[in-house]
Amino acid sequence: MALSEKTTLPPPQHIAIIMDGNGRWAKKRGLPRTAGHAAGAEAFRRIANYCRTLGVRYLTVYAFSTENWKRSQEEISGIMRLLRRYLEEALQDMEKNRVCFRFFGDLSKLSPELQKLCYDAQNRSRDYDVQVNFCLNYGGRNEIVQASRAFAADVAAGKYQPEDLTEELLSSYLYSKGVPDPELIIRPSGEMRTSNFLLWQSAYSEYVFMNVLWPDFSPSHLDEAIAEYHRRNRRFGGT
Ligand code: FPP
């Protein structure tokens, strides 16, 4: 597929991205892993702005997984610092940038300062052009477990019967409640795994795996992924 492949078709309304390859990008340059994450945060800024230009309504990014706590304290603190800095800026420029925020994941394990920024950003969010969903301390299996627990609690409280459970009802207990499923999920860096990302929501998503490290990801890579998405023939199990 050629770079800068632009299409005149409308973009997917929801794109999700596994921002992978920051560590390898840094290693190639003899830099600490945190420098890779800082470059990854810049790539995120570029792509979020470009999504607004394209008219993409939802952008969901995997910023920190339930498994990422296994990394060194230095690396974890580096990622959290970048998120804090980004959210502080975003809170100031929210109306100007017309980007609003939701957070998918168990925020209770984050520092009180970061939790406050997340809740402030979420509470001040309006119906802006783009909604960024940050997956933070997020795992797809964990999301389904917490949704199942919440439904079970409602059954125990007499609100529902077990047989009331439908796909729609279960969806309403997920972090992504009210957000349409992503049509396109992009994983850069050459890895071809889902890594516990949006397990429920990705049932009919088109995956595009790309051989570029996330810090090098540019608007033309997004054009390329969208062009590939349009070439796919989405049948949703039909013929
Ligand atoms: C995966 O690459 C990336 C992460 C676990 C962290 C992603 C975080 C950011 C891009 C910064 C967050 C801040 C903002 C503002 C979005 P990896 O480290 O696993 O890369 P590797 O596979 O090459 O080691």
Residue 64 Cα to ligand 1 middle (Å)? 7
* pLDDT tens for the 239 residues of the chain, in order: 455 567 778 899 999 999 999 999 999 999 999 999 999 999 999 999 999 999 999 999 999 999 999 999 999 999 999 999 999 999 999 888 899 999 999 999 999 999 999 999 999 988 889 999 999 999 999 999 999 999 999 999 999 999 999 999 999 999 999 999 999 999 999 999 999 999 999 999 999 999 999 999 999 999 999 999 999 976 677 77
Tokens of 236: 């949703």
Residue 57: CB within 6 Å of ligand 1?
A: no
Q: What is the pLDDT of residue 8?
A: 79
Is the C-alpha dihedral spanning 29, 30, 35, 41 positive or negative?
positive
- Residue 128 and residue 152: Cα distance in Å, rounded? 35
The rounded Å distance from CA 180 to ligand 1 centre is 25
Is 0.75 surpassed by the pTM of this model? yes
Residue nearest (by alpha carbon) to ligand 1 atom 10: 40
For ligand 1, whether the C-beta of 37 sits within 6 Å is: yes
**Which residue's alpha carbon is nearest to atom 7 within ligand 1?**
63
Atom from ligand 1 closest to the CA of residue 27: 23
Verify whether ligand 1 is closer than 6 Å to residue 20 (CB atom). yes
**Phi and psi dihedrals of 101, rounded to 5?**
-135, 145
